[in-house]
Structure formats: structure tokens, C-alpha cells
Structure 1
Amino acid sequence: MAASRSTASVARLARAGGAASARVPHNKRREAMDAATWERIKDHPCYSEDAHHYFARMHVAVAPGCNIQCNYCNRKYDCSNESRPGVVSGRLTPEGALAKVRNVAARLPQLSVVGIAGPGDALFQAERTLKTFELIRAALPDLTLCLSTNGLALPDHVDALKALDIGHVTITINYLDPEIGAEIYPWIFHNHKRWKGVEAARILHERQMEGLERAVEAGVLVKVNSVMIPGINDEHLTEVNTAVRARGAFLHNVMPLISDPAHGTKFGLEGRRGPSPAEIHTLRESLGNDARLMKHCRQCRADAVGMLGEDQCQSIDTMAPAATADDTPRPDPEIRAAWREVVADSRAAHKVAADEAEAVVAAAAPAAEDRLVAVCTRGGARVNLHFGKATEFHIYKVGAEGIRFAGIRRADNYCLGGYGESERLDTILTVLEGVSAMVCVKVGDGPRRRLEAAGIACHQDTRHETIETVIADWYADAVGAPMGAVSQPA
């Protein structure tokens, strides 16, 4: 009976999320990865571009204090309308975190990772972080545990993290040159003393490099986050990339500065702009198009829950009714195991579809240049969304190297209450700078004409097919054809 309930539950999830019918773009880079490394990242939505379409992550906000001050950070509470690092709606004790994780895992069989990302620094009050991990590891051993840190305290805790089997650590590294670092960090707190200016930046840099090296030596997969800050470190990040790769970083994730004045950060209040999507794309391209660049980051809240891009921290009842885990729901291991079977089948099926799409592109590509395509999708790696409802565009590069995911570009959706907003379309056109085509289920005549005028071809496809298949169809038709034309499959 239990097995039947488990199978039925997973089937419903698969139908709702589209996972039962191949959800994820085939990633050829996986073929070059050793099997042991693939096993470590295949269910981690932040470490695997493939996994983020299948699996959910959860951040537990047990680390409120911080040992540095960033000019782009403002830790805020009860900010339900903001989705960015440092923001949470409540702080948890380690016991409360366990209760919350159990509750979410019982509701979301897709949950594979629990991380601690603040809202301060996970290792400034390390005892809270380590206690939380200890409790979760004992209660839910199938979950992957990870943390994010600024790196200042990391060298002191690598051994403790390794003892708890914390195999994934993210370090935010924004500079190598302390002169540049002093423009980003006004102070740090280290060895019971507050340091300022260039000296503070020098200490932070040295500790970050030491922590990175020690973590890699301990067998931890390290992801490095870097915030691109125009006018400060934008040209410097190529050097950062070279340095962290040389020290064994598994991934490098270049993220845009978030600088809305409403957030109250120093950079926001002084009017420092964030980079445009095209600038982020250009920098990432300059760093190389390989498996060591992360391009699907959503810069999540410190209490994020759910799939990347579908944060449920406000909509799902994730708060446990008590401060302990005694009375909270228990995850059904059969359902969780069945979900992984669904994922395995989906990955195999999608590889077939993606390989066929790659063959179509390869036949057309020699005579054509690379182009960027914006995809309207609600998930499942399918073209399954109307243009007017898209709040983010998945960008793919198509050409001689095949079809490659290139990043996410966000914009408010064009349609509100059935009507389009002209100002929002202006913003969308800016966001889609450098894009040659947009593929969607449908696009209205008004926005279509605006997109065409901007040189963006519109390709409508109502089949809810896989992204690679639709892109390949458009590309094969578009090679040699004038831009700005609407195409639609027969």
C-alpha cells in the first residue's frame, strides 16, 4: 500500500512539473566529467546546470551575524517582496531549522540540498551552523549539506566541515588587489579587532585564498561567487577567475551587482549601477565556455525554498508549529527514492531529444554565425510560456558549438491583467540586448512588432517541446533568412 501511494504521489508531481517527460537540456560537458564527480553534483541544483531543473534547495537562516561589511549588502528581515542575498523573513535556532527542513522535505520530494547562506556569514557564529548541520545529517542523511561564506573564518573550520561531510562550499571572492577590495568592504572583524581600509582587504584576501586552498585539499567542491561591480572590479574579475581556477575552484559564478536604492545598500544609495545583462554575458564569454562557469544562479534569499527561480519561502507553509522537530511531518523515503527514479528516466529521454536537436544545428551551423536565443519557459526545459507572462528569459547560444545555455535575464512580465505595459516592454528590449530571436508559445501582434523592429525574430511554437528542439527548428529556418521575421512550425 505504501509503495502504491509513493508511486501515485510522484506521478502527480511529474505531471505537474513536467519532469516525467524529460525536463533538462542535455549537457555534453557531463560526458567529460568523471563518474565520481558527477555523483557528487548530479542532484545539486547550484552545482549542476542539469540538476536545477529537477531538484530543489533550501536555505535555513541560522547565521544572523557577520564579520565583514559589504557595500552591496543590507541584511533585512520580513522583506517578503525582495529576492536577494541577505534577506529573510525570520531567524531560526538549529532545532527550529531541523523542524523546518523536515517539514519541507515531507512536502517536496525534490528537495536534495540544505544550505546555510546567512543572512550573515555562516562561519562567523560557526557553532550555530555546525550544530544545525549535525542535527540535519543525523535525521535526514540523504540530503546534501552545503554553506556559503565570505571566507574570512573558513580556514579555521575546514576540518569541522569535513568531519560532517560538508562537501560543497561557496566562497564570495570579489578581488585580488586590496586597493580594489577596500572599495567594496569598509571593514572586517578578525582576531577580536575591527580592521578598515586596505589592510582589512588584504587580510580578507589572504584568508579567502587560504580557505579555498585548504577546502580543495580536503576534497570539498568549492564554488566561487563574484559580484560584478561596474567601475570597481568589472575588469579585474578575469584575474580573479584565473586565480581561483589555479587554486582548484570547481565553479566560478559571476553575478550582477544588485543596487536598487530601495534596498538601502551603500552602493544603491550612492547611485552605483549594476551591469547590464549584455555586460554580464560578455564577461562570462571572456572567461571561457566550459563546465567551470555557473550561469543559472538566481541570487537567492537566505531563507529560499524550492526550485531555482520558483522560490516558495512565502507561499509554502515551511515554518514548523514548534521549536523542535518532534511533531513535524516525516519525509517518506519511498517517495523521495521514486522521485530520483523519475529524474533518471527523464535525463535519459531528454538526451535523445537534445542529441537530435544538436544534429540539426550541426547540419546548418557551418555557414552561420553564433546567435543568442531568448526562451520563454515556466520550467521543465520546455518552450511552454507566452511571451507576455515571462518574468525571466533563458538565454541560449546556438551555432557551430551546438546549443549551449548562456544565462538568465530577468524582467517584469509584459502582460498585467490581460493588457500589455509599454514601459515594461521598453525594459524587456533593454534586457534582450544582443539577442537574435525569442521563442515562446505565443506573442501578441503589438510586442511582436516592437521586437521585430529591434531586430529580434519571434518564433512561436505551441507544442510545448523541449527547448533544444524548438531552438534547432528556428535556427535551421533562420540561417540565411532576414532577421525580424516570425516563424511558426507547421
Structure 2
Amino acid sequence: MVEKPTAAAHPCFDVKARHTHARVHLPVAPKCNISCNYCNRKYDCVNESRPGVCSALLSPYQAVEYLKELDTHIEKLSVIGIAGPGDPFANPEETLETMRLAKAQFPDKIFCLSTNGLNLKPYIDELALLNVTHVTITINAVDPDIGSSIYAWIRHEKKIYRGRAAAEIIIKNQLECIPLLKAKGITVKINSVILPGVNDHHIEEVAKMVASLGADVMNCIPVLPTKDTAFEDIDKPSGPLMKEVRKVAKKHLGLMTHCSRCRADAAGLLGHDFTEAYGMLREYAMRPLKSTDDRPYAAVGTREGALVNMHLGEAESLYIFKQTPSGFQFIEERVTPPAGCGDSRWKDLADSLADCRAILVEGVGAKPLKILQHAGIRVIQMSGIIDEGLEGVYYNKEVKAVKMPDAFKCGDSCRGDAQGCA
């Protein structure tokens, strides 16, 4: 019988665990259903350490494959969370599928989510069935007049709301979720971003309200002024201000005071991230979006059958290989769809490669790259010996990729403008 994890192993909910137990955030939720005046999401950033940023986005399948490897590198990886870079429930299908796949592989770990709460309510029953034990809701105000200055807009039930109407809806939905989560035995943490001159005087009311509904703990987070946001010039909360805010909040419920303002792809101990994870994550983001167990072949852009030396846009045919006990075997040559057909060319190509788990080419445009990846085909841009590329496909060995500017060069026959293939 699998031992059920305890809250004592969650570094965000137990201050002692922050030094002994690690967590990972899986960046599978890019879309957001609200726009906060302090938030600027980024999907390919390794330089900033704050919520809303990640080095790459993953599909549910990619996320769990990444998680399998990460678990071999990080000791006591006890918590698997989803915290964006958007909102988990603006991406409910991806979020829940990731949780299902991860739970099947790691039933002994703690599962948690961080959300704005706008669209959380319809999924609480399923979260309980998946044994999600911890949920964080970011509640910055319980007064719509204050909330209207924090939220630029919300998207609720396919409609955009702004101003006070937006604040009324999100606050109502957030507060309704707290007792529903508690009824399922889920630990609830409330995050409140402290915005000087906006909501700092209001935090005690937030604490009082969420405590009355059953919230377990509160985390008062000083705003991090972020470029290209409405609050980019807001003052950072001073030490004395944060001390006073936490003092009044503590009258009503317990506080978390060791928050690291984690990225949406954070991995490792709080405050001591396993930075190698960013490179690993980017590598897994280039792998197939779905399982390739039923795809035995790999396609190659080659002129003579020995080297990967053709850009996808100039390849009139592709060589097809498969793995055998005695090595890699050439199967056939497949003609590619003709140029000049726009997106349909690449969709037809994806259909013709439905039995291929990967394609090796010297370069590829952004549009065919996206279409092939969406079809579950891993695209590897490289130059060199075919067998070395196939070892990367079948044995997950590192493949030396071509430089990105070179990936858009099709050769002398190319009439394009380096903006992608037609």
C-alpha cells in the first residue's frame, strides 16, 4: 500500500520542509482568464524569478516525461504543482490530464495547484478525486471597488468584463470556492499581493473574510514591479509596511512567511532552484506532444542517405528509417507534398508521417514546426550523420542542434525571406 504524503512534506506549507523537501511546477497552463495590473507572463524566459514566467511550455505528456527524469536528479521531490504561467483553470483540459498522468506515475507525491479562482469551482470534485491536497487561491481584495483597480479585465463564460463588474464576479467566485474545497478536505492557502496605496490597507479585511470561510493559511506577497504592466512604477512595499500587513493578517489565520515567489517552472528546494531543470525542460518541450509508442519510424531530410543535410522546405522527399536489433534500417523514400499550398502542405505532410515519431532536418520554418509538433512528431534540427540523429530519437541521446539562424537557410534553391516555408 502506498503511504499517503503528509502536509509536513510540502515546503510551502511547512517552513521546516523548505530545507528538506523539493517541489516542481509543471508549465502546462499558458492561457489566463484575467489580466492583473501587476502581471506580465513570459513563456521563454530564464532570467526572471517570479510567477508568470517559464523557460518553455509543455504538453501533459511532455510534462510527465520531464517529471520522470527530474525525479532522478532531485532528492525528496515531494510536491508536483501547476501554477501557470497562466491559470490552471483557463486551461482545464491540460491541467487535469497532467494531473491524471502524473498521479498514475507518482501516486506517493503531493499534488497542488495555484489559481486565481475565477474558474475553479466546476473542477473541485475532480480535484478531490485526483487527491489534490493543496490549493492556493490568489485573492487581492474582497471589496469590488478595490479589486477594480487591480484587475484590468476578466474572461468569464466567454464574455469579457471590466471594472467593478469584473471585480464583483472574480471575488464572488473566489470566496465560494473556499468552503467547497474545505468540504473535500483540501488545504487552502490564500495569496495576496501587497500593492502600496491600492490594497495594503485592505488586507486585514481579506484575512478576516477568508478565515471565516475556512482558509488554512495566508501568504502576503510584496508586489514585484514588472516592466510593461500598469503597475510597473508602483513602489515596492517597505519592510515596515509588510511587517504591519502581516501583523494584522495574523490576527485571523496563520501566515506563510517564507515564500520564494516561484516561477511557473520552478524545481528544487525553495530558494535553491535546480537551475539545470530549465535546460531539461526546453529539451522536453521539443519532444513529441503525445506518446510515440505506436510510431516506429523516423523521417530524415537527406540528399544522399548518409547525412542530415536538407531544410524541410526544400525536401521533395524524406527517407524513412526504423530501429532494429542490428541497428537503424532504411525502409523507404516518401514524397513530400508540393510547395505553395500554405498550411495544408504541412498538415498533409503530418498526415503522411503519422507513423513517424520524429523528423530530422537541417532547418524548418516556424509554421511547419508548430504543425508537426501538434501532430505529435518531434522535430530535430541538426546537421550531420543520420545515425547520430536517430540515436537521439530512439535512445534520447543529446543531439547537437544547428544554430537557429542557420535553420532558416534552405540553400541556393530557396526563394524565401527567412520567415518560414509556404
TM range, smaller chain: 0.5 to 0.7
Question: 1:16-27, aligned counterparts within 5 Å?
Answer: none
Corresponding residue number in structure 1 for 2:300:
none
SS in 2 for 1:183: coil
Structure 2 CA distance for aligned equivalents of residues 65 and 240 of structure 1: 26
Cα deviation, residue 278, structure 1: 2.5
1:298 is aligned, of 260, 266, 280, to 260
Corresponding residue number in structure 2 for 1:267:
231
Cα deviation, residue 290, structure 1: 9.0
Cα deviation, residue 141, structure 1: 1.0
Cα deviation, residue 285, structure 1: 2.1
Matched, 1:106 2:68: no
Cα deviation, residue 76, structure 1: 0.9
Cα deviation, residue 314, structure 1: 4.6
1:82 is aligned, of 38, 41, 48, to 48
Matched, 1:200 2:166: yes
Question: 1:129-168, aligned counterparts within 5 Å?
Answer: 129-168=95-134
Structure 2 CA distance for aligned equivalents of residues 291 and 154 of structure 1: 23
Deviations 1:311-366 (A, max 9, x none): 22456653365436889xxxxxxxxxxxxxxxxxxxxxxxxxxxxxxxxxxxxxxx
Deviations 1:113-145 (A, max 9, x none): 010000000111101000000000001111111
Is the contact made by 2:39 and 2:52 (CA closer than 8 Å) also made in structure 1?
Answer: yes
1:42 is aligned, of 5, 8, 27, to 8
Structure 2 CA distance for aligned equivalents of residues 181 and 44 of structure 1: 30
Deviations 1:413-463 (A, max 9, x none): xxxxxxxxxxxxxxxxxxxxxxxxxxxxxxxxxxxxxxxxxxxxxxxxxxx
Is the contact made by 1:179 and 1:201 (CA closer than 8 Å) also made in structure 2?
Answer: yes
Question: 1:290-439, aligned counterparts within 5 Å?
Answer: 292-314=254-276, 317-319=279-281, 322-323=287-288
Structure 2 CA distance for aligned equivalents of residues 326 and 105 of structure 1: 22
Cα deviation, residue 215, structure 1: 0.7
Matched, 1:57 2:23: yes
Matched, 1:239 2:205: yes
Question: 1:149-188, aligned counterparts within 5 Å?
Answer: 149-188=115-154
Cα deviation, residue 206, structure 1: 0.4
Structure 1 CA distance for aligned equivalents of residues 101 and 29 of structure 2: 15
Structure 2 CA distance for aligned equivalents of residues 326 and 311 of structure 1: 31
SS in 2 for 1:208: helix
Deviations 1:152-176 (A, max 9, x none): 0111110010110011100000001
Q: Which has the higher contact order (CA 8 A, sep 6+)?
A: 1
Is the contact made by 1:98 and 1:325 (CA closer than 8 Å) also made in structure 2?
Answer: no
Corresponding residue number in structure 1 for 2:194:
228
Structure 1 CA distance for aligned equivalents of residues 211 and 24 of structure 2: 27
Is the contact made by 2:41 and 2:52 (CA closer than 8 Å) also made in structure 1?
Answer: yes
Is the contact made by 1:99 and 1:325 (CA closer than 8 Å) also made in structure 2?
Answer: no
SS in 1 for 2:236: coil
Q: Which amino acid aligns with 2:184?
A: A
Structure 2 CA distance for aligned equivalents of residues 186 and 307 of structure 1: 34
Cα deviation, residue 264, structure 1: 1.9
Is the contact made by 1:102 and 1:325 (CA closer than 8 Å) also made in structure 2?
Answer: no
- Structure 2 unaligned runs (5+)? 294-422
2:215 is aligned, of 249, 252, 261, to 249
- Structure 1 unaligned runs (5+)? 1-36, 328-490
Q: Which has the larger radius of gyration?
A: 2
Structure 2 CA distance for aligned equivalents of residues 73 and 220 of structure 1: 27
Is the contact made by 1:181 and 1:198 (CA closer than 8 Å) also made in structure 2?
Answer: yes
SS in 2 for 1:95: helix
Structure 2 CA distance for aligned equivalents of residues 316 and 198 of structure 1: 39
Structure 1 CA distance for aligned equivalents of residues 74 and 253 of structure 2: 28
Structure 2 CA distance for aligned equivalents of residues 306 and 132 of structure 1: 19
Structure 1 CA distance for aligned equivalents of residues 44 and 139 of structure 2: 28
Corresponding residue number in structure 2 for 1:382:
none
Structure 2 CA distance for aligned equivalents of residues 156 and 312 of structure 1: 34
Task: State the identity %.
Answer: 43
Q: Which amino acid aligns with 1:303?
A: D
Is the contact made by 1:80 and 1:314 (CA closer than 8 Å) also made in structure 2?
Answer: no
Aligned residues: 287
SS in 1 for 2:137: strand
SS in 2 for 1:86: coil
Structure 2 CA distance for aligned equivalents of residues 123 and 207 of structure 1: 13
Structure 2 CA distance for aligned equivalents of residues 122 and 284 of structure 1: 28
- Over 3 Å counting, the alpha-carbon distance change for 1:254 and 1:325 in structure 2 is farther
Corresponding residue number in structure 2 for 1:465:
none
Question: 1:24-35, aligned counterparts within 5 Å?
Answer: none
SS in 1 for 2:9: coil
Corresponding residue number in structure 2 for 1:66:
32
- Over 3 Å counting, the alpha-carbon distance change for 1:143 and 1:279 in structure 2 is same
Structure 1 CA distance for aligned equivalents of residues 251 and 279 of structure 2: 40
Aligned CA RMSD, in angstroms, stands at 2.1
Structure 2 CA distance for aligned equivalents of residues 264 and 314 of structure 1: 28
Q: Which amino acid aligns with 1:301?
A: R
SS in 1 for 2:97: helix
Structure 2 CA distance for aligned equivalents of residues 265 and 77 of structure 1: 16
Structure 2 CA distance for aligned equivalents of residues 189 and 305 of structure 1: 30
Is the contact made by 2:141 and 2:199 (CA closer than 8 Å) also made in structure 1?
Answer: yes
Bigger proportion of residues as helix: 1
Matched, 1:126 2:126: no
Cα deviation, residue 239, structure 1: 0.5
Structure 1 CA distance for aligned equivalents of residues 277 and 60 of structure 2: 23
